[in-house]
Structure 1
Amino acid sequence: MQCIPSLLSISRREALLGLAVGLCGQARAAADETIAFDGLYESFGVLGFQFSDRVTALRGQSVRMLGYMAPPLKPESRFFVLTREPLAICPFCQSDADWPVDIVVVFMKAETPMVSAGRKVAVTGRLEIGSATDAETGFVSQIRIVDAGFTLA
């Protein structure tokens, strides 16, 4: 019974502030859902590959991923390829059949200057999975992070 009066004595402002802090914490936790190259696919075989259950469950959600920018086609672009290891050449001009399992296409919110291929970056954006061909470039991708931003890691 003593708990009820103390709850009633909380001001409306304090209650709203507590709610806002809680919601911000939940949003931050969702945005920080980190995926790794090792966890993208379940299996590989004659029939191709299958996305992992975790990646499938995260489809459409905000994720974070660490990797390296593959060398871009031009110094400023709206997209880049995120790789597990630094690369000297672009791995992106592949077909579905030859799709490397250790790359993810990143579509930025806006045209962005690229960083050195040897610098590790942390990418945050919305996860999309499934074969898709970019209308502008004709490039094929299996896994994409869209509406993305990045920072040096």
Structure 2
Amino acid sequence: MNRRDMFSAMALTAALPLATGARAAAGVPTLKFRELYVRGNDLTDKAKSLEGAEVEMIGYMAPPLKLEIDFFVLTKLPMSTCPFCETEAQWPDDIVLAHAQGSLRVVRYTDLIRVQGRLETGFKTDAETGFVSYVRLMGVRYEKL
């Protein structure tokens, strides 16, 4: 599955969620959006080496489709509209699915957040939502910066 197909599949999902606050932990490596991909779906050596590890990323919460959520899309730049409500051509190619273990509170799309979670990579379809992701942070916690 290529990135275009991945974004098309993501556009079919019905709900987006978020996580709860946590301070940055000492020793947790930071992964920047520019450190995710070499080209296309090829992950960088750094991203590959962090598979399964707790990492920290900084970005923005894309507007969710509903207020009660347990996952959200982390983006490099603020998005003023729900990415699922836009055409595939307007999707950013550097998004990360952030999945929590419980309900999350939504923050404004312009609020920069620090997110920590366990990095997973590879195509995966969520059984409940049908959401297709390539890069995920699992068990996320976040704080506004």
Give the shorter-chain TM-score range.
0.7 to 0.9
Do the aligned partners of 1:108 and 1:149 also contact (CA within 8 Å) in 2?
A: yes
- With normalisation by structure 1, the TM-score equals 0.71
Candidates 56, 65, 72, aligned match of 1:64? 56
Q: How does 1:118-129 map to 2 (within 5 A)?
A: 118-129=110-121
1:105-145 CA-partner distances (Å, limit 9, x unpaired): 00012111110111010000100001111111111111000
Cα distance in 1 for partners of 2:120, 2:82 equals 21
Larger Rg: 1
SS at match of 1:67: strand
Aligned residues: 119
Do the aligned partners of 1:109 and 1:149 also contact (CA within 8 Å) in 2?
A: no
SS at match of 1:65: strand
Residue 28 in structure 1 maps to residue 56 in structure 2: no
| Structure 2, unpaired ranges of 5+ | 1-24
Cα distance in 2 for partners of 1:67, 1:89 equals 16
4+ residue segments displaced more than 4 Å: none
Offset at 1:99?
7.3
Cα distance in 2 for partners of 1:99, 1:58 equals 25
Offset at 1:93?
7.6
Q: How does 1:11-26 map to 2 (within 5 A)?
A: none
Higher relative contact order (CA 8 A, sep 6+): 2
The percent of aligned pairs where both chains have the same amino acid is 43
Would you tell me which structure has more helix in proportion to its own residues? 1
Amino acid at match of 2:74: L
Candidates 47, 55, 65, aligned match of 2:47? 55
Offset at 1:75?
0.7
Candidates 122, 129, 133, aligned match of 2:125? 133
| Structure 1, unpaired ranges of 5+ | 1-26
- With normalisation by structure 2, the TM-score equals 0.75
Cα distance in 2 for partners of 1:34, 1:88 equals 25
